[in-house]
Structure formats: structure tokens, C-alpha cells
């Protein structure tokens, strides 16, 4: 066999092996980059992220989510399955068909489907309702929950039913983001379309409502410190603009113009008019000149009654 034929055979062999083996799976490479490890066991699938451990049971429910040693969900109280679809006829829906592809875990049944994409510190769930009825997807939160912060940044204290809290309290409302602060500092932030209510079985509930034959996306962001996760707060409303009247610029050549004086009102003396010129108002009213009396005139006016009285007394004495 010639050298050329041997060389061609070698290249053809390597080429065939390359096609057969293919390239490394992209999802596996992504899972390694995100520090996500997925382990499948007969009764559950465990996903370990950078700071959390999630467990999906064989019925397809995300039944446990642990962050820094704190359980965020409760799959023990009453018939709760942690997080799950709940059709009208109940009980919690089972999604037994599971497929694991790198960091993507898909569970489904004929009626419902959930795709969980696990990241280092985030879990993105794409929920599908294949039925003709509106169906809720519930997240039953554990008794370690302490504060629920709504989309507007308002914080609502929560007291789940536990030892020392016989009367549970819960928050109610709706919005696109929910911040959940747990005992010890772990925080889970939810992004999507939610309604939160309770208490149910002594627990706070967050609900995702799925319309018939629709899908909803839910993002769970996990952090170990309240300061690491800030909710998006709405910007304060703008202040009303204060209209200011701009000064009219002087006309060209205004420096050379003399402003026209406004004559004072006839009924009111001019401010700069001397007191002597203002005169007496009573005299003006009588039609006089309005000139004020002099000092001598005032003296004579004051002595005149006395002089008249003396004359009358003199006349009386003369008669006597």
C-alpha cells in the first residue's frame, strides 16, 4: 500500500471518530461554569448551587429549597408539597415524567409542565398550564419567614404559626416582585406575577395564577444577606413644576428712556407731598382752600369761649 493511501486512511479514520464522538454538551459546560451539580436518586433529584440546595420529588414538586441552612419552603404542613400546581379538583398535581439535561430539569404530565433552570444563585421556572381552567401554582413558605416586602418597598412583618406564635399573621397583596426575608438573614426575591395571602395552615402563601393554556415565568433569586438583594423601588413622583415669570428684557435703548410717572389719585395725597401742602380734609370738604391754621389762630380759637363767658358774667353783675 502506497504512502498516500495510508495517509488518506488515517485521516478518514480520525474524521469518522470526530463525527461519532461529537462535541462536548453545551448544557454540561454551562452547568460546570455555574457551579451547579445535579444528582438523581430513585426518590428525588437534588440540585446544589453556589449557596442553596433544591430537591425535586418523584411527583415533580419542588418540595425543598434550603439556603444557608434555612428551609424556605414547607412541604410538611397539611397537604403542602412545597411548590406545586393545584387544580380545582385537588390534590396537588403530580408531574411524574422527569428529564434532566445539564442544569435544566423538566417535569410534566398531560396537564402541566414545569421547566426549572438552575443557576449559581438563581432558579428560573417556566410553568405551563395545558388545561382549559385557570390553575394556581403555590409556594408555601416555611415558618422561618419574618418579613415580606412588596413591589412598592413596603415591609410586612409575618408571624407563622409555631411555638411562641399561636396566632399566625400573614401579608396579602399582589405585584411583580416579592422580597422574602427569613430568620438568620437569607433572602429570596421572586420576580413574576404574584398574589400573596394567608395564613393558610399557619403559613404565608405566594400564588402564581395561570390562565387556561398559558405559561408564566418565575425567577427566584437567592442570597444570604439582606444587603445583597435590593428590591426595585418605584421612583418618587416628580414634583410639580413651579412656573416662574421671566423678567421681560428691557427694550433696546431703554437706558435712554425716562419712565413715565403715574399721577397720584385725586382722593389720596401724593406720598412725597409735604404735610403743609396736604391741608385739612375738613376744610377741603367745606370748599375752603384747605390751608392749615397757624399757631396764633389756634390760640385765639381756644380763648374765644373763655372771653364770651367773661362778657356774659360781666353783664349779669351789671344788672345786679
Q: What is the pLDDT of residues 272-283, one digit of tens each?
A: 444 444 444 444
- What are the residue boundaries of the structural domains of the chain, listed by start? 3-228, 281-320
Beta strands in the chain (DSSP E): 37-40, 44-48, 52-57, 62-67, 70-71, 83-85, 97-101, 104-108, 112-118, 122-129, 135-140, 145-149, 155-157, 173-182, 187-200, 203-210, 214-223
Distances (CA, A) of 159 to 118, 122, 175: 30, 26, 21
pLDDT confidence of residue 209: 97
- Whether 304 has a pLDDT exceeding 80, the answer reads no
Residue burial 192-221, b: 16+ Cβ < 10 Å; e: rest: bebebebbebbbbbbebebeeeeebebebb
Q: Express each pLDDT in 51-89 by its tens digit.
A: 999 999 999 999 999 998 999 999 999 999 999 999 988
pLDDT confidence of residue 168: 87
Top-tier CATH class for 3-228:
mainly beta
Q: Which residue has the higher pLDDT, 46 or 311?
A: 46
The CA distance from 166 to 96, in Å, is 37
- Whether 271 has a pLDDT exceeding 90, the answer reads no
Question: What nine digits make up the cell of 68?
Answer: 444557608
Which helix (H) or strand (E) segment holds residue 151: the answer is none
pLDDT confidence of residue 139: 98
Q: Express each pLDDT in 215-262 by its tens digit.
A: 999 999 998 755 544 544 444 455 555 455 444 554 455 444 444 444
Q: Express each pLDDT in 88-128 by its tens digit.
A: 888 999 999 999 999 999 999 999 999 999 999 999 999 99
pLDDT confidence of residue 82: 97
pLDDT confidence of residue 219: 96
pLDDT band at 35 (very low <50, low <70, confident <90, very high): confident
What length is written for the chain? 320
Angle at Cα 22 formed by Cα 17 and Cα 26, nearest 5°?
160
pLDDT confidence of residue 117: 97
Rg of the chain over CA atoms, in angstroms? 47
Q: Express each pLDDT in 123-182 by its tens digit.
A: 999 999 999 999 999 999 999 999 999 999 999 999 888 765 568 899 999 999 999 999
pLDDT confidence of residue 290: 46
pLDDT confidence of residue 230: 52
Q: Express each pLDDT in 22-34 by its tens digit.
A: 444 444 434 444 5
pLDDT confidence of residue 239: 53
Amino acid at each position: 500500500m502506497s504512502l498516500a493511501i495510508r495517509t488518506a486512511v488515517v485521516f478518514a479514520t480520525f474524521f469518522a471518530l470526530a463525527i461519532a464522538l461529537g462535541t462536548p454538551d453545551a448544557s454540561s459546560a454551562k452547568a460546570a461554569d455555574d457551579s451547579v451539580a445535579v444528582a438523581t436518586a430513585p426518590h428525588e433529584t437534588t440540585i446544589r448551587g453556589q449557596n442553596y440546595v433544591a430537591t425535586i420529588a418523584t411527583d415533580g414538586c419542588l418540595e425543598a429549597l434550603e439556603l444557608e441552612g434555612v428551609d424556605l419552603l414547607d412541604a410538611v404542613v397539611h397537604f403542602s408539597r412545597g411548590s406545586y400546581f393545584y387544580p380545582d379538583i385537588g390534590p396537588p398535581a403530580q408531574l411524574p415524567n422527569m428529564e434532566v439535561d445539564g442544569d435544566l430539569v423538566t417535569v410534566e404530565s398531560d396537564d402541566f409542565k414545569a421547566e426549572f433552570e438552575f443557576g449559581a444563585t438563581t432558579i428560573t421556572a417556566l410553568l405551563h398550564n395545558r388545561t382549559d381552567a385557570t390553575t394556581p401554582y403555590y409556594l408555601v413558605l416555611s415558618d422561618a419567614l419574618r418579613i415580606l416586602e412588596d413591589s412598592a418597598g413596603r415591609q410586612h412583618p409575618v408571624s407563622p404559626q409555631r411555638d411562641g406564635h399561636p396566632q399566625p399573621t400573614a401579608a396579602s397583596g399582589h405585584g411583580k416582585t416579592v422580597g422574602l426575608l427569613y430568620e438568620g438573614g437569607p433572602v429570596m426575591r421572586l420576580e413574576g406575577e404574584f398574589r400573596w395571602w394567608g395564613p393558610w395552615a399557619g403559613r404565608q402563601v405566594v400564588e402564581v395564577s395561570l390562565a387556561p393554556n398559558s405559561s408564566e415565568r418565575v425567577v427566584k433569586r437567592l442570597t444570604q444577606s439582606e444587603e445583597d438583594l435590593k428590591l426595585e423601588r418605584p421612583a418618587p413622583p416628580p414634583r410639580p413644576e413651579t412656573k416662574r415669570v421671566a423678567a421681560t428684557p428691557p427694550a433696546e435703548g431703554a437706558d435712554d428712556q425716562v419712565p413715565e410717572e403715574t399721577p397720584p389719585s385725586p382722593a389720596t395725597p401724593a406720598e412725597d407731598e409735604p404735610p403743609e401742602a396736604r391741608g385739612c380734609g375738613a376744610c377741603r370738604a367745606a370748599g375752603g382752600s384747605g390751608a392749615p391754621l397757624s399757631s396764633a389762630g389756634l390760640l385765639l380759637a381756644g380763648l374765644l369761649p373763655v372771653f364770651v363767658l367773661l362778657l356774659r358774667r360781666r353783664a349779669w353783675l351789671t344788672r345786679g
